Chains A and B, each alone.
Chain A
Amino acid sequence: MMLALEMFRSVPRHLAARAVGGRIPGVLSGPVAPLRMVTIDEPAVGKDGWVPLRSRLSGICGSDLGALSGRTSLYFSSLVSLPLVPGHETVAELLADCEDLPAGTRVVLDPILQCAARGVEPCGSCREGLTNRCDRITVGHLKPGLQTGFCADTGGGWGERLTAHRSQLHVVPDDLSDEQAVLVEPIACAVHTALRAKVASGDHVLVSGAGSVGLLTTLALRSLTAAGQITVVAKHAHQRELARTLGATDVVGPDEVLRGVRRSTQAFHIKPQLARSYLLGGVDVAIDAVGSRQSLETALHATRAGGRVVMSGMPSGADLSAAWFRELEVVGSYASAAREPAAEGRGAFDIAIELAGEPALSGIASAVVSYPLHRWREALDHAHSAGRLGTVKVAFDPRSSR
């Protein structure tokens, strides 16, 4: 038996969270969260390659908060199985030997439950190593679930124990602390985003959002691409500083984006009637690292004709006129691939583990705030307002009881 935070099916809570969550964020960590702390059986998948793990640190991701507040599109409802234990940004240690890895090895999880983990013939995407595009995420040994943390069978990082398949495990070098390691999964996503952006040498890139996704994407862009100017949209003062440390050349406030971009690209500013203003001209590549309507539109409106817009946050609708009229390449960026085609087939996690040791990240890693499971309401509340409180990553430490 183990302690875990369990997300369960509750239509009333889901609807309530959806209805009022935006206005009264307090209720999301309070009465309407479809989350509870329970004592349940440890998860187990009795198949080859699966191994029990002890969760050491597991981050709270924006998508977790989205799921808890009911803001996630119903599109995903068949891709998860309830009740589940969330937590996909997880550092854990093996409780048993697993193929080449001895018990006690510290690992980070690539949360994607692709063909290999499900024991089915590899689909076309998995064969090419584009595991994030796996088509078989609802079948096989496991109940449906696109990732660990969204599947009822595997458990998640927000419980004391979970189980994972060898294909998901990446060994954490000894010189990385748990706090650095918990950033590996989000860095891997950022790496994937940066590679999806196909930045040409000297391109002007706009990163809309300076939460963990935006900041880590900035780092990845600076490290992996030859981007020229990187403009980051940041709301809070500490985000501005971090963005600069991580490689941004300009930082602008959310209200100043178009003006700032206009100035540095000498574009023309158009103010339509009763609609948001936009630029004719603008950056070469824009990355939406938030997923809100406003942020996505900012990205669309600030990109030059024929430019590229990468949706890194889970999008929630926007006016796509600019995508049509300016012939933008709008691409999605979901999780990360086992073999990144744009990085000569290297795994995103391998690159991410290297980047996690970057000195520029030390500020973020040392500021990771961890909570024990029983203080989950506090933890969620903190994660909701992380930007304002000057925190980049909030995590659960299931081993702790304080």
Chain B
Amino acid sequence: MSRPGFVLEVDDRTPPIVVHEGEGFRLEQFPLGTRVIYPPESLPAVPDVEAAIQDALLHPEAAEPLPELLRPGMRLTIAFDDVSLPLPPMRKPDIRQRIIEAVLTMAAEAGVDDVQLISANALHRRLTAAELKDIVGERVFRSFYPQGLLYNHDAEDHANLLHVGLTDQGEDVEINRRAGESDLLVYVNVNLVAMDGGHKSVPVGLASYKSLRHHHNSKTMVRSHSFMDYKKSHLHHSAWRMGKMLAQHLNIFTIETTLNNDVFPAPYEFLLKREWEWGIKDQASMLAIRRGLAVAPDRVKHKLFQDLRAPYGLTGVHAGETEAVHEKTLDNVHRQQLVEVQGQSDVLVMGVPYLGPYNVNSTMNPILATCMGLGYYFNSYRGQPIVRKGGAVILYHPVKPAFNQLHHPSYVDFYEEVLSESTDPAVIEAKYEQQYATDPWYIHLYRTSHAYHGVHPFYMWYWSTHAMDHCDDIIWVGADRKVAAHLGFRAATTLADALEMASGTVGPSPSITYLHNPPHLIADVR
């Protein structure tokens, strides 16, 4: 039995509460009266995953069963979400592997010969062979990768992009040529949060930069309140327009999956428990792990965390017509993540963990940390933000000036060059976005190495600016002072200091809300 999420009010009986901060966590004694939002406990997993997949494929939503869509001589393309989902990566076998295997089995039975598999990484970095193998599994990998039929989408490969047309608002719809010219495009998604999936899969994941910039720009991203509610997100509106248009040109069969909240494997399960229910073992684990992390060299720590594989359980799999499927998927996501919260508060506290979508097997650099806190977490609401307009946000993360040169070359320059000049998205977009987007070196690294596209850091920053606009004070606890200042924020050593610093904005005894995630939650603020 899993309990729903709830809002705790810190009282004198409340033990210290876990706060994530990068590659580590601390116990924080919050001021009395602080509201702590706990996510619902992990939902029970679907007991027989294979049967659930078969059922979804044979009884799809608003579509014919998959076997009926398959015929000899057709062109079948299977696209799937890349390594940015789920977080942390899933313990093998990945759910995408199981679905792709089921789809391929049906395709083989139907005698389909022309099959290609594409990782829908949009402007994300290309996956390595090992990462592809982790997602699709050894069998699929062996059958397709050496033949060049399992590969990463390339948003800059103009020869292999297909301009499908314009939406009614004049937005270019340009996607992967192979996908666009297929008789059937099967999209396999992992819907970790409400932002994912729906028409954000094909029109975004397989799009070119030319097409992406219509929804990934400072205007849509600043005005999206919030990404977790596609009906209120300008980004999603644009993607939906494109998706509707694509659906007319292309036969898309969407398969969406949802996972439960089992994000931490042993010995980190205590991070999933409510602190007052910690047993001796949980407490000992916490103490031991904290001491271990304190002496561990950074590299060891990094490896330790990046190697975590989550023992997720599947909470649902739905297939068929994109929008019909997505409604069901969102229900599942909300069942697992939605917590009702009454009213806004003056201060929002969030712990930024070691991993975000863009630093899987990589470093969480200052821009990604900002995006994780102010983009991803801050926007985890429905209705209105958890913090009131003009309030303060307090984040925990070491925010060290460490960058992964292989994965994030343009981030370094964005940090050094662009942020030195301005943190205003409008200024940044006008002066630099085009330069970065067209820099031949970044394009080269994106296409041949494992680098995020040159323009990607801009999206991260745009995403975070809704929070920056909304709040008057953003303070990082435990952050490198220089870096925080460079990003336009302030740094504090402790929560008490941070609250002191924020008192100019929110007064000496503000109402405080702490978002207790991961695992992920969406605050339904009434």
Shortest A5–chain B CB gap in Å is 41
Q: Which of B321-329, B353-361, B366-374, B409-417 contacts A (4 or more CB under 8 A)?
A: B409-417
- Report B-chain residues with C-beta under 8 Å of the C-beta of A268: 440-441, 444
Which B404-446 residues have a C-beta within 8 angstroms of A?
A: 412-413, 416-417, 435, 439-441, 444
A259 and B416 contacting across the interface, CB-CB below 8 Å:
yes
In the assembled complex, the Cα of A264 lies from the Cα of B439 at a distance in Å of 9
In the assembled complex, the Cα of A267 lies from the Cα of B413 at a distance in Å of 13
A375 on the interface (CB 8 Å rule)?
A: no
Return the contact of A264 from the options B412, B417, B440 (Cβ within 8 A). Answer: B417
A252 and B416 contacting across the interface, CB-CB below 8 Å:
yes
In the assembled complex, the Cα of A217 lies from the Cα of B341 at a distance in Å of 62
Return the contact of B412 from the options A259, A266, A267 (Cβ within 8 A). Answer: A259
- Contact bitstring A254-273, B, C-beta under 8 A = 1, else 0: 00100110111011110000
In the assembled complex, the Cα of A252 lies from the Cα of B412 at a distance in Å of 12
- Report A-chain residues with C-beta under 8 Å of the C-beta of B413: 259-260, 262-263
In the assembled complex, the Cα of A263 lies from the Cα of B441 at a distance in Å of 9
- Report A-chain residues with C-beta under 8 Å of the C-beta of B412: 259
B416 and A256 contacting across the interface, CB-CB below 8 Å:
yes
Question: Could you tell me how many residues of chain A have their Cβ less than 8 Å away from some Cβ of chain B?
Answer: 12
Q: Is the interface of B mostly helix, strand, loop or mixed?
A: helix
Question: Could you tell me how many residues of chain B have their Cβ less than 8 Å away from some Cβ of chain A?
Answer: 9
Shortest B360–chain A CB gap in Å is 24
In the assembled complex, the Cα of A264 lies from the Cα of B420 at a distance in Å of 14
In the assembled complex, the Cα of A256 lies from the Cα of B416 at a distance in Å of 9
Which A57-87 residues have a C-beta within 8 angstroms of B?
A: none
In the assembled complex, the Cα of A306 lies from the Cα of B495 at a distance in Å of 56
Closest chain B residue, CB of each to CB of A253: B416
Shortest A265–chain B CB gap in Å is 10
- Report A-chain residues with C-beta under 8 Å of the C-beta of B417: 250, 260, 263-264
Closest chain B residue, CB of each to CB of A264: B417
A262 and B441 contacting across the interface, CB-CB below 8 Å:
yes
A266 and B416 contacting across the interface, CB-CB below 8 Å:
no
Closest chain B residue, CB of each to CB of A263: B413
Shortest B194–chain A CB gap in Å is 36
A263 and B440 contacting across the interface, CB-CB below 8 Å:
no
In the assembled complex, the Cα of A260 lies from the Cα of B413 at a distance in Å of 7
Closest chain B residue, CB of each to CB of A281: B441
Shortest A23–chain B CB gap in Å is 27
Shortest B401–chain A CB gap in Å is 11
Closest chain B residue, CB of each to CB of A251: B420
Shortest B403–chain A CB gap in Å is 10
- Report B-chain residues with C-beta under 8 Å of the C-beta of A252: 416
B416 and A260 contacting across the interface, CB-CB below 8 Å:
yes
- Report B-chain residues with C-beta under 8 Å of the C-beta of A260: 413, 416-417
Shortest B453–chain A CB gap in Å is 15
Which A368-382 residues have a C-beta within 8 angstroms of B?
A: none
* Residue from the set B416, B435, B441, B444 with the largest chain A CB neighbour count within 10 Å: B441
- Report B-chain residues with C-beta under 8 Å of the C-beta of A256: 416
- Report B-chain residues with C-beta under 8 Å of the C-beta of A264: 417
- Report B-chain residues with C-beta under 8 Å of the C-beta of A266: 435, 439-441
- Report B-chain residues with C-beta under 8 Å of the C-beta of A259: 412-413, 416
Shortest A243–chain B CB gap in Å is 13
Q: B residues engaging A (CB < 8 A)? A: 412-413, 416-417, 435, 439-441, 444
What are some 10 contacts across the A-B interface (CB < 8 A)?
A256-B416, A259-B413, A259-B416, A260-B413, A262-B441, A263-B417, A263-B439, A266-B435, A268-B440, A268-B441
12 other A-B residue contacts (CB within 8 Å) besides A259-B413, A266-B439: A252-B416, A256-B416, A259-B412, A259-B416, A262-B413, A262-B441, A263-B439, A264-B417, A266-B435, A268-B441, A268-B444, A269-B441
